[in-house]
A and B are shown apart, each in its own frame.
Chain A
Amino acid sequence: MAVLLLGEVTGGELNVDATSKAVGAVKALGDVTVLCAGSSAREAAQEAAKIDGVARVLVAEDARYGHRLAEPTAALLVSLAGDYEHIVAPATTDAKNIMPRVAALLDAMIISDASAVIDAETFERPVYAGNAIQTVKSKDAKKVLTVRTASFEAAGEGSPAPVEDATLADDPGLSKWVADEFAESDRPELTSAGRVVSGGRGVGSKEDFALIEKLADKLGAAVGASRAAVDSGYAPNDWQVGQTGKVVAPELYVAVGISGAIQHLAGMKDSKVIVAINKDEEAPIFQIADYGLVGDLFSVVPELTEKL
């Protein structure tokens, strides 16, 4: 029984949090081999080798894997799949792009966003925006899955595992990278942040979202947004927390001007402490908040920022 796990490598760097949580999720299933692919991936591989539970690291360092395009990366995973029963990745946007392609090429049904690993064939996953949890048992010879990192503890550090070169696979040459547009930010990354401050439709405008950002910066928190705020153009899509955005489980989640639609709750209800600030005392967000404050966010948020 062996596991092949796609390490999350972006711009040559390993996302240690996402990768080690994915390792933590599946290490009980067998020896874990982490694959680090990218135009530069060797340093990331050295990092991955230090994650406890990793038996071996494979490096695929080549320009064809430079921007995590689905077709070449999926071809690489499929070419390596023979030795493994489980092919796994943390459920990032890159992996959500790549892993279903891998599954179909192996004639297996993807198990997306697993939130618990019961045994080698049985997994739990949220459906209907987290309003139900399905336990599914895979009948496929190879199990291809993505894991919801917010549901698992990171594997700690261990003694370094050996790093080897992977045999590269042919690039199908179907697509090419044109440009990235990443906002530079000193804030913590949303899915791994210990604190998150999110704004909703109640914030009212893109300009007023600065209130949310100021509070976040005071707390050293990441900034999130509800789908309604993203829809209205107040915040970029990669800030979206919820069913179709990111799933977070920080120590502290502050929801400002967010009513609490089920789609939003799906992305944050596993947070340890939830604070809700909303002028509508009937807002559903108060039904799950540990501390609720009914009030006008335009006066409450600056006051809170000042007093923290």
Chain B
Amino acid sequence: MKVLVPVKRVIDYNVKARVKADGSGVDLANVKMSMNPFDEIAVEEAIRLKEKGVAEEVVAVSIGVKQAAETLRTALAMGADRAILVVAADDVHQDIEPLAVAKILKAVIDEEQPKLVIAGKQAIDNDMNATGQMLSALLGWSQATFASKIEIEGEAAKVTREVDGGLQTIEVKLPAIVTADLRLNEPRYASLPNIMKAKKKPLDEKTAADYGVDVTPRLEIVSTGEPEGRKAGIKVGSVDELVSKLKEAGVV
């Protein structure tokens, strides 16, 4: 079984995004970029399936700027076998929308014919939570989002999902799209020897035009602003003082 994992290069999890003064977006020049954390979990899950002998090959795909090659090298260092970079933008500030990403991924999947796609549930930059579901729709495949457990059983996958109120387990026919939630696994760190080895693994470079996909955004970003700020209040010295303040505020 071949497993395909889409990965996105995003602002690092620990960096606070800063809105540009002219309202044109978030400043990403000279900002540390990393693999989207949920995508790391997806890569880890695919590698574990390979280690268990369930998957034969793990292919990582990234769509975005040329620099996303670094993100793919990280996936390769973690244990993916090969990578495909689809260059769809020149400017690091241009985000390719999930619908366009899904269309490109569909074209890649038509060629690669994986039986399972594991994606992160959400990118921490645009917070859309959409690419996996959209890809699944375009392919006419089954989908299991927000996964905390994946078991492959013959021609189906049993997936436990994180939903409001608890957990739901469903069985999806393969091929399927699964999106990874936080508790699916804890991703490994790539070791130095594996980082060296990753440099020799195959990384194909394509463009969005190679797949005939128009990446023009459907959502025009009119402006990007700062959220309303919140000021620090006061420090209280004791539980008694806290209780009386809360009573004054009428919230208890």
Contact = CB atoms under 8 A, between A and B. Distances in A.
Interface of A: 10, 67, 69-71, 74, 92-94, 96-105, 107-113, 122, 125-140, 172, 174-183, 191, 195, 219, 227, 230-231, 236-238, 240, 243-244, 246, 251-252, 262-263, 269, 272-275, 281, 286-294, 300, 303-304, 307-308
Name the 9 nearest CB pairs between A and B, nearest first.
A174-B142, A290-B233, A128-B17, A100-B133, A104-B137, A104-B134, A109-B218, A100-B130, A182-B166
B233 A289 contact: yes
A308 B243 contact: yes
A219 B247 CA distance: 13
Contacts of A103: 99, 130, 134, 137
Contacts of A101: 133-134, 136-137, 143
B252 to A, nearest CB: 6
B148 A175 contact: no
A107 B68 CA distance: 26
B170, B183, B238, B243, most chain A CB atoms within 10 A: B170
Interface string B147-171: 0100000000010001111111111
Interface of B: 11, 13, 16-19, 25-26, 38, 97-99, 102, 121-122, 124-138, 140-146, 148, 158, 162-173, 176, 181-183, 217-227, 230-236, 238-240, 242-243, 245-246, 249, 251-252
A238 B17 contact: no
Given A70-B145, A103-B130, A137-B222, 17 more contacts: A67-B170, A97-B143, A100-B133, A109-B99, A128-B124, A133-B226, A135-B221, A138-B219, A175-B143, A175-B170, A177-B168, A178-B158, A238-B164, A240-B182, A286-B232, A293-B236, A304-B242
Contact of B170 (A125, A176, A286): A176
Contacts of B141: 174
B127, B128, B225, B226, most chain A CB atoms within 10 A: B127
A142 B204 CA distance: 36
Contact of A175 (B138, B162, B172, B230): B172
Nearest to A299: B239
Contacts of B124: 128-129, 243-244, 263
A93, A128, A269, most chain B CB atoms within 10 A: A128
B17 A287 contact: no
A105 B243 contact: no
A132 B25 CA distance: 8
B142 A110 contact: no
B19 to A, nearest CB: 5
Nearest to A252: B251
A129 B121 CA distance: 15
25 contacts: A70-B133, A92-B164, A96-B129, A100-B98, A100-B137, A101-B136, A109-B217, A110-B98, A110-B134, A126-B127, A127-B127, A132-B19, A133-B226, A138-B220, A174-B142, A181-B169, A191-B164, A231-B183, A243-B124, A243-B127, A244-B38, A252-B251, A291-B246, A292-B234, A292-B236
B239 A293 contact: yes
Nearest to A8: B164
A182 B142 CA distance: 23
Nearest to B19: A132
Chain A facing B: main interface SS: mixed
A45 B137 CA distance: 27
A104 B138 contact: yes
Given A135-B223, A136-B221, A288 B172 contact: no
Given A136-B221, A180-B166, A262 B16 contact: yes
Contacts of A180: 166-169
A97, A126, A139, A293, most chain B CB atoms within 10 A: A97
